[in-house]
Amino acid sequence: MKILNLHIQRFRGIVDLKLNFNGENAVIFGPNGVGKSAVVDAVDFLLRGEVSRLTGEGTGDVSTAKHGPHIDNPPEKARIMATIQSATGKIFAVERTVAQKDRVIIDPAFSSDFNDMVAYAQSGAHCLARRELLRYILTTPSTRSQQIQMLLDIADTKTVRDALLKLKKTTASTLKSIEDSLERYSSDLRTKVGAKSDDQFLEKINSLRAVLGGDALASINENSFINGLLYSDTKENTEIASYIRNLEELEKYIPTLRPTLQEKLQNVQDVVQKIENENTSIENINYISLIKLGLELLDGTGRCPLCLHEWASEIELRQILQERKETSESLSTLLDIYQNSIAAVLKEISAYESKIGVLSHQLTKWDNGCAAILESELKLIAAASFPDNNKYENFSKVQELVITVINQSPDLLLSLIQKQMAVLCSLFDENSKAKSDAWQTLNVANELLIKIGELSKKLPVFKLAAEKAVFLLETYDDSQAAVLNDLFTSISDRFTEFYKALHIDDEKDFSAVLNKDGAGINMSVDFYGKGQFPPMAFHSEGHQDSMGIALFFALMEKLTASESGLVVLDDVVMSVDIEHRKNYCKLLKSFFPEHQFIITTHDTVWARNLVNEGVVNRKNSIQFLSWNVTEGPIIIIGQDVWKTTRAKANIDLHGTSAFFRREMECFFENVCHKLHARVRYNNVHKWDYGQYMNAAYKELQDLIKKALRLARGFNKTEAINQLETLSSTLRALLTAVNAENWVTNVLIHYNQDYEISKAEFLAAVDALEKFCQCFECSRCYTTISALYTGETPVMLTCKCGSYAHPLEK
Amino acid sequence: MSEQTIQDKIKANFMNAVLKSSKFTKDEVESILVAMSTSMKADKMAESILKSIGGNANEDT
């Protein structure tokens, strides 16, 4: 797609501006704050219905809807109109207003052509700004990956991969949980019936059944352990039996509690002592704990569990957290040990609490003092169950409570429990108790067996789901690798080619490698044959800018099926020097002849280079001179230094004189470059306007002489006339220039006490305009150039061929 | 722009491999394709695929 013309009304500082690009490259230049970027915004808005600069991170309350219209204008009056030429050559009009920014006004017959361009623009490939260059080059693999994925329109592949990764984790975790439950239930089942092995299991079940008068089961796979059993007792008896069982369990447990707690507390105290020896602050301990928690909470989606920022690569986020954790590895290890050991202490307390359970309430009816002491035990240990009791900072509180438990003698409690059991046992006979125990054990065992059966049945389903999830993720990674590896190889090759074109003089053997590493994209570049390094390692800022441009072009190419496309380059060559800018021009001309580039810059020299090098036609050189709120930007179309100078002369003659001298210096420097003119050497490598002009004049006259000699030899009348006229005009105009040129002398224009009249200044401008025209083709406006073969000039030429004079036989 | 996008190429490669695998039924393959073709977030997409491949613990356990 190309823009033939663009009409911007009441939008982003522009009141009413018409630009006729005619589908060709254009340069928009001028100082800061004159409305250049508003043109970039207008193109962006026309294509996407949004202005990139007004959306996204850091824009706060600013929005296209509110801040798109020029100040004090309603959104319906802020509109962009354009005549577009599609890649297939169709021409149509498009219009979009800020009031209805999601809708374009277009002949439906062309909607599909325009939508292709919109899709291309949604990825950001229509515009490159300098801030984006940095995101390609001076960045982490994940940020680069995000930027590249967005540009290549493959950001959704991350969503799919994240989904499949999550699927794999979920199915694996469900499977593990089922397997763990199966193992736990099986172990609980053996413990419950008192079987040390599977062999003993059936025997134990049958002996329990025998207590209840039941037949022996032939196998544990029979329907139920309580099959054919009849057991009934009064509610009270059932309750009493249950209380006795609980008291028996407590009686066995209490003697082991204190030594176990003592041992486990000692482990914590040892590790706390080691942490204290590290001499660190509680803040640092909390920080490391947070990092460790963050690592535990990573769920495979790449989302930071703390700030919810989505990383392109969870691997990278994990790596960063891991690195931070490892910087305090010994402390981190000690904190791990602390966590495990304090958890063991708290688990023991919790086990004790659950064993006491609600016994104190249940025993009230037959209480002999046991309920009250159990209640006080509960109160004591419940104090340890406060929020964050496992945190390092809360250790002293937990330690104090545990020591209180340890120091309290269990003797009284144990004797009361025994007495309580005696009271309860006297309430019914031993046989009843044995039957109740057997019935309870068989029922619990039966429940466990049912659970085991259900889980065993489902296990293969979950196993298969987990296998499928692994297969899906691996297959997706393989599919992605197959497509992206080829893609990245071709991008690397093209990037290298573009970069070499930009740095043909100093890095002709450059090479680069771009590869996908997990969800990130690594980039390494050759540094003068010394090896592959990250781009920011040794290369200068200018070289890095070149890499950004080269990579953008390499990526952009992958998005356009056709060879034509619109690209806005928003001030992207700031750090590139003059020689490399010329290579940049060659790159645009030779690799992208069918693209339309709209280039903005605040550098007038660069704008002139683009015209002189033939990238931009002079009539598409648009200078933004100034801006005011009522009129918007004041512009000059056609990069006319003469018009600009004359307009400026009305305001400040001395300033304009300096400006004009600088313009002429640039002009003749470029002529010298084109003609390979010999400027008298100096060791500071700095030449002024006069030196450039004289060298350019002499060189052109010498080349004309050579060309004339050949033209006369072949009797080429037309060429002879053209060359003789040019030579004599040059000679005559040089005399006029020399007569008027004193006003551009530095001693004059830097001297405020010296009066220059406007007439005197304009006379010099007139003389120089005519003189300068001699160095350009009057048809294509490009500078007349000398083509060289080695050290020999072979042709005097211009872009359109109006000048094509051989200099050698 | 009318040619197959990079995403489409990856998806096509992937679906071909899934189709060739004996692990999945026709219905499962269709459900996976539908889930991948929507603009769901990763969490929801994972949930949807999980349902179709029979690993949904909430429903089955």
The ipTM value here is 0.93
Residue A172 has what pLDDT? 92
Q: Does B41 touch chain A (CB under 8 A)?
A: yes
Provide mean pLDDT across the span A384-390. Answer: 87
Distance of CA A450 to the CA centre of its chain: 52
Q: Does A125 touch chain B (CB under 8 A)?
A: no
Residue B2 has what pLDDT? 44
Residue B4 has what pLDDT? 66
User: Which of B8, B21, B49 should one mutate to test binding to chain A, selecting the residue with the greatest count of A CBs within 10 A?
Assistant: B49
Whether residues A483 and B60 touch (CB distance < 8 A) is answered with no
Residue A226 has what pLDDT? 87
Whether residues A466 and B50 touch (CB distance < 8 A) is answered with no
Structural domains of chain A in order of their starting residue, each with its CATH number: 1-125+560-639 (3.40.50.300), 666-806 (no CATH)
B52 CA to chain A: closest CA distance, Å?
A: 10
Partners of A558 on chain B (C-beta within 8 Å) are 6
List of residues 6+ apart from A16 with CB closer than 8 A: A8, A9, A10, A632
Does residue B11 form part of some domain? no
For residue A32 the two structure tokens come to: 């800061």
d(CA A121, CA A567): 9
Task: Select the more confidently predicted residue: B56 or A188.
Answer: A188
Does residue B54 form part of some domain? yes
Q: Does A178 touch chain B (CB under 8 A)?
A: yes
Whether residues B7 and A154 touch (CB distance < 8 A) is answered with yes
Nearest CA to A420 among A278, A267, A251?
Answer: A251
Q: How many CA atoms lie within 13 A of A74 on its CB side?
A: 4
Answer whether A537's CB lies under 8 Å from A521's CB. Answer: no
Q: Which residue has the tokens 């230094």?
A: A641
pLDDT digits (tens, 9 = 90+) for A7-23: 999 999 899 999 999 99
Pick A157's closest partner by Cβ from B1, B3, B10: B10
Enclosing domain of residue B59: 22-61
Residue of chain B nearest A174, judged by CA positions: B57
Does residue B41 form part of some domain? yes
Answer whether A795's CB lies under 8 Å from A787's CB. Answer: yes
d(CA A101, CA A496): 39
Count Cβ atoms below 10 Å from residue A678 Cβ, excluding itself: 11
For residue A334 the two structure tokens come to: 């000690």
Does residue B4 form part of some domain? no
Does residue B17 form part of some domain? no
| The Cα angle at residue A494 between residues A523 and A782, in degrees rounded to 5 | 125
d(CA B47, CA A170): 9
Residue A151 has what pLDDT? 64
pLDDT digits (tens, 9 = 90+) for A585-630: 988 988 888 889 999 998 888 888 888 888 998 889 998 878 888 8
Q: How many beta-carbon pairs under 8 angstroms link A with B? A: 117
Q: Does A464 touch chain B (CB under 8 A)?
A: yes
Does residue B39 form part of some domain? yes
Q: Does A461 touch chain B (CB under 8 A)?
A: yes
A24 CA to chain B: closest CA distance, Å?
A: 21
pLDDT over 90 for what percent of chain A? 33
Does residue B16 form part of some domain? no
Burial class from Cβ neighbours inside 10 Å (0-12, 13-18, 19+) for residue A80 reads buried
Chain-wide mean pLDDT for chain A?
A: 85
In this predicted structure, the answer to whether residue A754 has a pLDDT above a threshold of 70 is no
Q: At A516, which helix (H) or strand (E)?
A: strand A512-517
Banded model confidence at residue A114, pLDDT cuts 50, 70, 90: confident
Pick B55's closest partner by Cβ from A116, A171, A479: A171
Total number of residues shown for chain B: 61
Range list of H helices, A384-426: 395-407, 411-425
Q: Does B29 touch chain A (CB under 8 A)?
A: no
A36 CA to chain B: closest CA distance, Å?
A: 30
Answer whether A759's CB lies under 8 Å from A784's CB. Answer: no
Q: Does A450 touch chain B (CB under 8 A)?
A: no
Domain count, chain B: 1
Whether residues A461 and B9 touch (CB distance < 8 A) is answered with no
Whether residues B23 and A152 touch (CB distance < 8 A) is answered with no
Tell me phi and psi for residue A183, to 5 degrees: -65, -40
List C-alpha distances in Å: A346 to A184, A260, A264, A397, A410.
21, 12, 10, 12, 19
Range list of H helices, A328-385: 329-356, 359-362, 370-382
Does residue B57 form part of some domain? yes
Window 275-334 of A, Cβ < 8 Å to B: 301
